[in-house]
Amino acid sequence: MLLSEVVAASEAVRATRSRKAKITTLAALVGRAGPVAAAQVVAWVSGELPQGRVGAGWRTLAAVEAEPAATATLTVAAVDATLTELAGTVGAGSAARRRELLGSLLAAATAAERDFLVRLLTGELRQGALAAIVAEAVAAAAEVPVAAVRRAAMLSGRLPVTAVAALTGGAAALAEFRLEVGRPIQPMLAAPGATLDGAFEEFGGDVSVEHKLDGARIQVHREGSQVWVFTRTLRDITAGVPELVRLVAALPCESVVLDGETLALTDSGRPRPFQETMSRFATVEPGAAPEITSARDLLLHPYFFDCLHLDGIDFLDAPLRERRAALLRVAGQHAIPALVDPDAESAAEYFDGALAAGHEGIMIKSLAAPYAAGRRGRGWQKIKPTHTLDLVVLGAEWGYGRRTGYLSNLHLGARDPAGGEPIMVGKTFKGLTDALLQWQTAEFPQHERSRNEHTVYLWPELVVEVALDGVQASPRYPGGVALRFARVVRYRPDKTPAHADTIDAVRELLPEGLVVSARSAVEE
């Protein structure tokens, strides 16, 4: 298969907001690629490299001097071979060899192919082809149920591998994928809930009510004496959290996969600020780093709320009631506090108690629901005293007055479920501390997309949590809704734009009976 076919499909996907059109275009591409080139093609249109980092950043690429080719001759196999060699080029003389390989590759590429390759190599290939859309395209190309593709991709953690299996063995091959201890899976996500009473009624009272902790999501795996700890984004942080490794290694089991949160506590047992917990996951966090006076202050305490595997038995498809029973058997003393099968009055009291203990609110979960890995379904709902949303930062305006010289007023966008660019839903400069203003002004230029005299526009890479009093119908923004009294709570370095709330979630906060007067032009 020629690279030019991939580039043409990529451009077609970028040119439309129609989810159906994106899927049709990508399905045709994957079908033409077949099992031989499907893994590379699926990875590329998802904006990823199968080889991971290949040592070709902006500086390296800018140093390459080569005129674009007049005709398209590069094949997918040839490009993949070059990228594999690039990834393996290390040691003495590697920089020169890397320049030589890149020069040869870009010299053989047309102008359009070069643009595609540069954006792919630098992580800037944004074409509205989210993994969910590519998964649907794979299902269409292989003529298998999309649910089978999603599940296999969730269990394998690798959509390109899933695509090859679908094309070669169909639904039967996809059914062979199993949860593998030591390989992380996409976590189940919670949807914002409007009210406790509403969620309680939706689940018919068959619920578990848990504290909503202000911590960092973790997924722990153990096989024998080997332990792994992963973040929400599936990053392996095992080496940086020895106290969690020791705790999991001591659990009374041979193998286990647990989902939960971890956070640092004060001496009185109350949760420390989120930024202090996250200081164990990264060296620099948005805003001023807190002063930590002792190693004890940084100790992380796990609170597990789900069991996905225990001693050879997978529980992904089991209802939460069964999964929680397994959790209590293996890690009861480390399970998150929960109220199971409460009445409405008890649930309300539990909500008040969670707030009094310094937590964000509560999670209300259907005891009948399976674990919907990688999806933000209604089976889990988060209830907080004020509405909060995770939104994508699209830009920032230069401040004035005491904020002169700082990037201040944020442009906020919700995720487009069709895979397009985030949809703007409002602006805010409220809640920004001096430390955050300084951090934004230093950090935002690293994500700059363009600018004018008043505004720096960003690539959609940073996620910020905002609190708001609600939303209102508004023709001012393309999604037809606008935030009311939004203020910044914190940045979320533990989340990617794929974890941001969708425009549909924002619209669900409209007062009952209001109709959105303008909607993003997404064709079904």
> Which residues are part of the catalytic machinery?
212
How does DSSP assign 148-213, residue by residue?
HHHHHHHHHS-HHHHHHHHHHHHHHHHTT----TTS--PPPEEEEPS-HHHHHHHTTT-EEEEEE-
Q: Which of 63, 180, 160, 187 is nearest to 118 (CA)?
A: 63
| C-alpha–C-alpha distance, residues 285 and 355, integer Å | 25
Helix (H, G, I), strand (E, B) or coil at 100: helix
| Three-state DSSP state, 489 | strand
Q: Report how far residue 449's alpha carbon sits from residue 444's, in angstroms, rounded to the nearest whole number.
A: 10
Question: What residues have CB less than 8 Å from 138, skipping those under 6 apart?
Answer: 27, 30, 38, 42, 149, 159, 162, 163, 166, 167
Token digits of residue 74: 């590069």
Q: Which of 229, 227, 223 is nearest to 262 (CA)?
A: 229
Beta bridge partners of 227: 222
Question: What is the Cα–Cα distance from 51 to 86, expressed in whole angstroms?
Answer: 9
d(CA 254, CA 248): 11
What is the token pair recorded at 270? 């109350």
CA distance 23 to 124: 21
The tokens for 486 are 């939004």
Cα separation of 36 and 501, whole Å? 36
CA distance 103 to 91: 19
Which has the closest alpha carbon to 185: 129, 105, 257, 120?
Answer: 257
Strand partners, 165: none
**Cα–Cα distance, 199 to 267 (Å, whole number):** 34
The CA distance from 293 to 358, in Å, is 22
67, 110 contact by CB (below 8 A): no
Q: In angstroms, rounded to a whole number, what is the distance separating the alpha carbons of residues 249 and 308? A: 17
Q: Which residues contact 109 (CB under 8 A, 6 or more apart)?
A: 3, 68, 69, 74, 117
